[in-house]
């Protein structure tokens, strides 16, 4: 029996057409505590990639779940905003020789940006998503984010750029469940997406290789592949298309010797590699810039923390050291953070994000690797 609540809060659930957001909508609806509605965000429909784009099928699946739950359903077209804030950022970062993480910007600018604003304008009190993350809200205090119960699926890493004025309107219903439990709930609620496979590939295109997409936006140009000692070992089709630590697709002529990307010079279009997984691929320090702190208050001094430099990496012990410098134009303080790890880290990559945690599982925030 559904428990009845007076003055129910209204929540708009971002439904992607996948099982996670479907169960999130079901849990909120069946709790009796909320007046829920579903919404699908249409972010991409490039005619060149219709064979890869799954948006029509995903939207249909989301609508079917909403109908099954008996809740209203909206569709929002954010294609222009998505291209301007996420896709352009990704392309320009690759052109500059860095390796971006578009999911970070998608969450900050789209899902918890214009989508949240749209929900509030429509009179909703909250938005909800199918992210695997826990949120703690104490009255009159700041929201905190924690790793999900399912450590293998935890997505707190991708939410490290959110601010307090976004989190106070956010709900994450599946953070206390592991994936098999979510699948069981989907079957229990008889949802159409119960057996749907998890999405793969680029976040806005679908099951398409990133290299194929980038080659439509960045012109290929042949360049040299060299070792750090200057030995010529092959050619490539554009240094922008490669990331630190990459092994496949280098195009080297080293026979059975595995080569790994350790550096790249996009101006000269040279790819530098190491012969094997050598020490050239490891670093013990990095600098993080544009760090977002979930609490909205940057630490006043250095501190010890746990961190990861890529999604699903195990947490690494480190010291985080504040490095303040002055903006020459505005004279304001710009804070960068030097991170010193207890153990050397493989493939530290400029443009990717480092995210900080406490032992309790609380996610503190994160920034781009310089």
With pLDDT > 90 as the criterion, what percentage of the chain qualifies? 74
**Average pLDDT across the chain, whole number:** 90
Burial of 12: CB neighbours in 10 Å, binned 0-12, 13-18, 19+: buried
pLDDT digits (tens, 9 = 90+) for 49-59: 545 557 788 99
User: What is the pLDDT, as a whole number, of residue 268?
Assistant: 94
Tokens 């980038």 belong to residue: 214
* Residue in the structure block whose two tokens are 């810039």: 289
In angstroms, the CA 62 to CA 193 distance is 8
For the segment 357-366, the average pLDDT, to the nearest whole number, is: 98
> Which pLDDT score is estimated for 210?
76
pLDDT at 317 over 90: yes
User: What tokens were used for 224?
Assistant: 């040299």
Which secondary structure element, helix H or strand E, spans residue 262, and what is its range?
strand 259-265
The Cα–Cα gap between 103 and 228 comes to 32
E strand or H helix at 147, and its extent?
strand 144-147
Which of the residue ranges 32-46, 52-66, 144-158, 164-178 would you say has the lowest mean pLDDT? 52-66
Q: Residue 254 corresponds to which tokens in the numbers above?
A: 């080293």
Question: What pLDDT is recorded for position 214?
Answer: 87
53 noted as active-site residue: no
Listed ranges 90-99, 211-220, 246-255; the one with the highest mean pLDDT:
90-99
pLDDT band at 2, cuts 50/70/90?
A: very low
User: Which one has a higher pLDDT value, 23 or 229?
Assistant: 23
**140 confidence band (pLDDT: 50, 70, 90):** confident
pLDDT band (50, 70, 90) for residue 252: low
247 pLDDT exceeds 80?
Answer: yes
What is the token pair recorded at 82? 């998505």
H/E stretch holding 165: helix 164-167
CA 247, 86, 310, 182 torsion-angle sign: negative
Distance in angstroms (rounded) separating the CA atoms of residues 55 and 74? 14
DSSP 171-209: E-TTTTS-HHHHHHHHHHTT-TTTTPPPP-SBTTTBS--
At 108-135, the pLDDT tens digits run: 999 999 999 999 999 999 999 999 999 9
Distance of alpha carbon 370 from alpha carbon 368, whole angstroms: 6
Residues 212, 196: Cα–Cα separation, whole Å: 26
Percent of the chain with pLDDT over 70: 89
Strand 133-136 and strand 144-147: the pairing is antiparallel
DSSP for 269-337 reads: TEEEEEESS-GGGEEEEEEEEEEEETTSS--SS-EEEEEESSTTPPPEEEEEEEEEEE-TTT--EEEEE
- Residue 23: left if φ>0, alpha if ψ -120 to 50, beta else—which one? alpha
DSSP 94: H
Average pLDDT (197-209) is 61
Dihedral sign from CA coordinates of 161, 164, 165, 170: positive
Residue with tokens 């501190």: 303
State which of 40-44, 168-172, 257-261 shows the largest mean pLDDT.
168-172
Using pLDDT thresholds of 50, 70 and 90, give the confidence band for residue 1: very low
**DSSP structure class, residue 3:** P
Q: Alpha-carbon distance 24 to 174, whole Å?
A: 6
Q: Which of 267, 227, 218 is nearest to 250 (CA)?
A: 227
Q: How many CB atoms are located within 10 Å of the residue 37 CB? A: 22
pLDDT at 4 over 60: no
Please report which confidence band the pLDDT of residue 212 belongs to, taking 50, 70 and 90 as the band edges. Answer: confident
Q: What is the dihedral of CA 170, 89, 82, 14, to 10 degrees?
A: -30
Complete domains list, the chain, with CATH: 9-188 (3.40.50.620), 219-277 (2.30.30.280), 282-369 (2.40.30.10)
- Non-local (6+) Cβ contacts of 83 within 8 A are none
C-alpha 341/C-alpha 322 separation (Å) is 15
The owner of tokens 């509030």 is: 120
Dihedrals φ, ψ of 265, to 5°? -120, 100
Distance CA 289, CA 181 (A): 38
């Amino acid at each position: 029996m559904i428990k009845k609540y007076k003055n129910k809060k209204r929540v708009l659930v971002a439904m992607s057409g996948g099982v996670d957001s479907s169960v999130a909508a079901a849990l909120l609806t069946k709790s009796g505590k909320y007046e829920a509605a579903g919404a699908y965000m249409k972010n991409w429909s490039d005619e060149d990639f219709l064979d890869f784009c799954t948006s029509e099928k995903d939207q249909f699946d989301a609508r079917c779940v909403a109908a099954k739950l008996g809740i209203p359903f909206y569709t929002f077209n954010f294609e222009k905003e998505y291209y301007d804030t996420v896709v352009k950022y990704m392309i320009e970062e690759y052109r500059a020789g860095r390796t971006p993480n578009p999911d970070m910007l998608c969450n900050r600018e789209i899902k918890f940006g214009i989508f949240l604003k749209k929900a509030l304008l429509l009179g909703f009190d909250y938005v909800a998503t199918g992210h695997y993350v826990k949120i703690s809200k104490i009255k009159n205090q700041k929201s905190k984010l924690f790793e999900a119960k399912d450590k293998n699926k935890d997505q707190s890493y991708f939410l490290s750029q959110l601010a307090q004025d976004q989190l106070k309107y956010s709900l994450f219903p599946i953070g206390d469940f592991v994936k098999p439990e979510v699948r069981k709930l989907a079957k229990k609620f008889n949802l159409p997406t119960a057996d749907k496979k998890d999405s793969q590939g680029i976040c806005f295109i679908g099951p398409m290789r990133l290299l194929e997409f980038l080659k439509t936006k960045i012109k290929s140009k042949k360049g040299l592949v060299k070792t750090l000692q200057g030995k010529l070992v092959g050619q490539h089709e554009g240094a922008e298309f490669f990331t630190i630590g990459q092994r496949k697709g280098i195009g080297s002529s080293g026979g059975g010797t595995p080569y790994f990307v350790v550096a790249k010079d996009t101006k000269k279009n040279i790819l530098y590699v190491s012969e094997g997984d050598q020490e050239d691929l490891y670093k013990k320090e990095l600098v993080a810039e544009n760090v977002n702190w979930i609490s909205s208050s940057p630490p006043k001094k250095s501190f010890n923390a746990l961190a990861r430099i890529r999604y699903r990496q195990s947490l690494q012990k480190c010291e985080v050291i504040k490095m303040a410098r002055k903006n020459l134009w505005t004279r304001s303080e710009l804070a960068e953070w030097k991170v010193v790890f207890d153990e050397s880290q493989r493939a530290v990559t400029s443009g990717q994000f480092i995210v900080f945690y406490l032992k309790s599982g609380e996610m503190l925030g994160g920034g781009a690797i310089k």
